[in-house]
Structures are given as C-alpha cells and as structure tokens.
Amino acid sequence: MVLAKHLEQRRSVTTQLREHGLRLTRQRKVIADVLQQAGEHLDAPEVLRRARKQLPGLHLATVYRALESLKKLGIIDELDLMHVNGHGHFYEARTSKDHMHFTCQQCRAVFEIQDELFERLKRQIEGRHGFTLRVARLELGGLCARCAVSARENDHPPASA
Amino acid sequence: MVLAKHLEQRRSVTTQLREHGLRLTRQRKVIADVLQQAGEHLDAPEVLRRARKQLPGLHLATVYRALESLKKLGIIDELDLMHVNGHGHFYEARTSKDHMHFTCQQCRAVFEIQDELFERLKRQIEGRHGFTLRVARLELGGLCARCAVSARENDHPPASA
DNA sequence: TTTCTCTTGCGATCAATTCGCAACTAGATA
DNA sequence: TATCTAGTTGCGAATTGATCGCAAGAGAAA
C-alpha cells in the first residue's frame, strides 16, 4: 500500500514534468523523494543534506532550481512559518488536503492544522470571485496553549518571585 | 470623521509603543502614517520613498527597524504575496477585519478578499487548539477570472492563430 | 534643562537565493 | 543501440533583501 502510493506519486511527478517539457533527472527525483518521505517541512540546506545521501555531488543551487520546478508543478508547497528565525523558506510535499501552519512566536514550535472550514473557505472564494486556486497558504502566529499559560503566569508572578 | 479616525489611530500607536517601552519618534510616526494612508501594501523601498517626503534624510535601515517594531505591536502586517517577483516583503496597516490576499500568478494582480468564513475559521482554530492568535496570513495564488479565460482560449486557439 | 536611554544614519556585513557558463545527460530519433 | 540536441547540472561569482555595530542624535522623565 505504502509502496503503491509511492509509485503513484512517482509516476505523477514524471508525467507532470513531461507535460511541462521538463526532464526527470536523478536530482529532481531524489529531491522530490526526500520531501515526500519527510513528514515535515524542510529548508533548502536540509533538503540538500538529505539528498546528498543518494547524490553526494549535489549542489545547493540545483536544490533551489528543483524546488522551484516542483513548486510550479504544484508538487510541493513553500512556507515561511512566520519567519520565526531568518527569512528562509521551508518546503513540503503537497498532500490531498491542504493544511494550515501555526507557529508559536514564543517557543517556535510549528503545528499543522486541518479544518474542514478551510476547504469550505477556499471553495467559497473560488466561487465568489471566479478565481482558479492553485496555492493556498494559511499561516498563523501567536502563542501555543503552553506558552499562553506561562505568559499569564508572568503577568501575575507568584509572591516568591 | 476621517480626522477623528486618524487621531485615534495615532493615539493608539503612541500608547502601544509606550506600553512596550518604545519611543514615538518622528521616523516611526511618519512610517506608520505612510502605511495607514496608503490603501495598499508597500514594500520597504516604497515606504522609504514616500516617507522621505517628510523626512528627507531617512535611511532604509531605519525603515526596516520601524517596520519590525510596528509588526511586533500588531499595527502592521507583513505579506509575501506569493513571491510573484523576488523574495521581498510587503507591509500594510492592520484594519479591524483581517483580509486575505489573492495573487494572480499570470498577470500578478493582487486582490484583497474579505469573508466572514475566515473570521469563523480563526475563532474555531483558537477554540479547538487553545492557541492565542496574533497574526493570520492567508495568501492565495492562481488565476484571476480574466486570466483563467485567456488560458482557456490558449488551450483551444482560434483557427486564425 | 539635564539626564538617561532608546534611536537613528551610515556603511559594512550577512543570509538566502539566483545567475552565467561550460560540461553533462535524459530521452527522442534514426 | 548509437546519435543528437535541448534541457540540466555543478561551480563560483553575483545579487537581493535585510541586519548589524557604532558614534551621534533625540524622546521623555525628573
């Protein structure tokens, strides 16, 4: 099952590249695999690090070029994660259902959120404005439950502090 | 009325800065004004250009520092607009109701969208996950109605072409 | 007015990404 | 299978967008 899904994704990548006059190179294949097998969002240097296990000579510029191609084909998504540190980007393989990202501005933890209302909102926007949506990125920032609690404690510090 | 609203915003900026131990400098005041009076999102060099009408000696580094402060106070929002060209950021004054941004990946037009479902989605996420939301950025990309039409025409070009 | 910090202007610097180009290779064709 | 050709890669240099360190400047509390 896992294998089947994987093969299906692979075929899709090949086909989609072809349709855009692009070649399925070893580099692009490995980079796409790295993202599809990583459950999480990776930045470009991390993609490079992982892909080099298969392709030791791989160059960072190639990673950026591949990410750009895959992004244009809608195979991966690009994220900012509220720029909690630096202005770099993160990448992740696209799945059937879009999800949102919440970044805690205190502890920097990132949470993935799914909500049926998000799908509904997207469909409603498409319908109302006549847009054809290709990407939808909803990034949230604030305090996670844990940090909200400690922030409240700091407002009312215990007598011993 | 317009004046009253403006004064109110100004007072709010002063107060909020104070609360964070920050000073209301001429630079910050002018930069906040530029964003509150521009109906649209501006990038940092454009903020500089406009603010220099009031403060000729203003430096770009100061603009970035002011934008950072105002962003932290929640007075302005930072946008990417799907990076349609370059990786720079855009800034806009925050209004009472968050809105979304749709960027046409063909003609690069940017549309602001409001939808009650967006407010509902945010409240639902806060409730379900215990997050305290401070920023919510929903950026959409795809084809606007006009470009979707011409894309369809290109798929089926007229005989004369 | 004085004083104490926070801020600014400035140029240097940094981080992230892109570019130019010669060598390489996927994959169509013979 | 060998050949051919346009898309791709590796590499280092270059670019872009944003940040830093520091001395001089300026809010605002007293």
pLDDT band at A153 (very low <50, low <70, confident <90, very high): confident
Query: Is residue B153 over pLDDT 80?
Result: no
pLDDT at A7: 52
- Best residue of A120, A140, A147 to probe chain B, by most B CBs closer than 10 Å: A140
Q: Identify whether the C-beta of residue A93 lies closer than 8 Å to the C-beta of residue A47.
A: no
Return the higher-pLDDT residue of B5 and A67.
A67
pLDDT at A14: 84
- How many CB atoms within 10 Å of residue A63? 23
* Contact residues of B toward A, CB < 8 A: 78, 80, 82-83, 87, 100, 102, 104-105, 111, 113, 115, 117-118, 120-122, 124-125, 128-145, 148
- In whole angstroms, what is the distance from residue B9 CA to residue B7 CA? 5
A44-51 helix and A26-37 helix, angle to the nearest 10 degrees: 110
* Each residue's pLDDT tens digit, A24-66: 999 999 999 999 999 899 999 999 999 999 999 999 999 999 9
Mean pLDDT of B86-106: 93
Query: Is residue B141 over pLDDT 90?
Result: yes
Q: Percent of chain A at pLDDT above 70?
A: 88
- In whole angstroms, what is the distance from residue A77 CA to residue A61 CA? 18
B134·A144 Cβ contact <8 A: no
pLDDT at A42: 98
Burial class (CB in 10 A: 0-12, 13-18, 19+), B124: middle
pLDDT at A67: 98
* Each residue's pLDDT tens digit, B12-46: 788 888 888 899 999 999 999 999 999 899 999 99
Query: Is residue B122 over pLDDT 90?
Result: yes
Tell me the chain B residues in contact with residue A64 when contact means C-beta distances shorter than 8 Å: none
Q: What's the mean per-residue pLDDT of chain B?
A: 89
pLDDT band at A156 (very low <50, low <70, confident <90, very high): low
pLDDT at A113: 97
Q: Which residue of B has its CA nearest to A100?
A: B138
Estimate in Å the CA B132 to C1' D17 gap, whole number. 30
Q: Taking the C-alpha atoms of A55, A57, A60 and A63 in order, what is their torsion angle to the nearest 10 degrees?
A: -30
* Each residue's pLDDT tens digit, B59-73: 999 999 999 999 999
Tell me the chain B residues in contact with residue A111 when contact means C-beta distances shorter than 8 Å: 129, 131
Of the candidates A1, A29, A35, A4, the one whose C-alpha atom is nearest the C-alpha of residue A14 is: A29
> Strand A100-104 vs strand A132-143: parallel, antiparallel, or unpaired?
parallel
Encoded tokens for A49: 């690090």
Tell me the chain B residues in contact with residue A145 when contact means C-beta distances shorter than 8 Å: 129-131
Considering all nucleic acid strands, name the nucleotide whose C1' atom is nearest to the C-alpha of residue B67.
D18
Encoded tokens for A142: 């604030």
- A158 Cβ contacts chain C strand, under 7 Å: no
SS3 content of chain A, % helix, strand, coil (to 5): 50, 20, 30
Mean pLDDT of A2-21: 70
Sheet of A90-93, strand order: A42-43, A90-93, A76-79
B102·A113 Cβ contact <8 A: no
